[in-house]
């Protein structure tokens, strides 16, 4: 069996610049997606590409990254806890930045002081998405 890799796509690429537009409304689905994203980080490294990843959270996803999980129970609570664990692990990796939209968190009733410390507020993640794409980051939506 041939070795499975991404060399055709990654040939000549030294940096994997991606901005993840996270607007998920299902914590179970987002938890699984973050596991694949973490693997993507590792896969890039293993193939000689430096990952540069920005995570922008907006919409309902802002409710999954707070210190108060009292709104969740059962499978949703377990997924939110996994999301938070994944985010802390990702935030510790070189080249990873997390951002939370102040507009969205305000609309969702998420107080700034309730957010995980690894995910600071920015005024508007649409501005972040525009700026990072202008700097050559690939946009990958996560819904």
Q: What is the pLDDT of residue 59?
A: 98
Q: Averaged in consecutive runs of 10 residues, what is the pLDDT profile of the chain (143 residues)?
A: 91 98 98 98 97 98 96 98 98 98 98 97 98 98 97
How far apart (Å, rounded) are the C-alpha atoms in residues 143 and 125?
15
Q: What is the pLDDT of residue 3?
A: 86
The predicted model scores a pTM of 0.96
Burial classification of residue 67, based on how many CB atoms lie within 10 Å of its CB (0-12 exposed, 13-18 middle, 19 or more buried): exposed
How far apart (Å, rounded) are the C-alpha atoms in residues 34 and 32?
5
How far apart (Å, rounded) are the C-alpha atoms in residues 9 and 138?
14
CATH topology of domain 15-135: Hypothetical Protein Ychn; Chain: A, (3.40.1260)
């Amino acid at each position: 069996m041939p070795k499975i890799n991404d060399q055709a796509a990654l040939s000549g690429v030294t940096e994997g610049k991606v901005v993840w537009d996270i607007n998920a409304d299902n914590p179970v689905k987002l938890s699984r997606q973050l596991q694949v994203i973490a693997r993507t980080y590792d896969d890039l490294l293993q193939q000689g590409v430096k990952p540069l990843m920005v995570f922008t959270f907006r919409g309902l996803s802002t409710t999954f990254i707070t210190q108060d999980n009292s709104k969740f129970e059962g499978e949703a609570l377990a997924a939110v806890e996994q999301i938070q664990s994944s985010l802390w692990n990702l935030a510790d990796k070189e080249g990873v930045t997390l951002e939370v939209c102040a507009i969205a968190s305000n609309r969702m009733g998420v107080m700034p002081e309730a957010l995980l410390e690894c995910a600071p507020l920015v005024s508007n993640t649409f501005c972040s998405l525009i700026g990072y794409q202008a700097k050559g980051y690939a946009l990958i939506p996560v819904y």
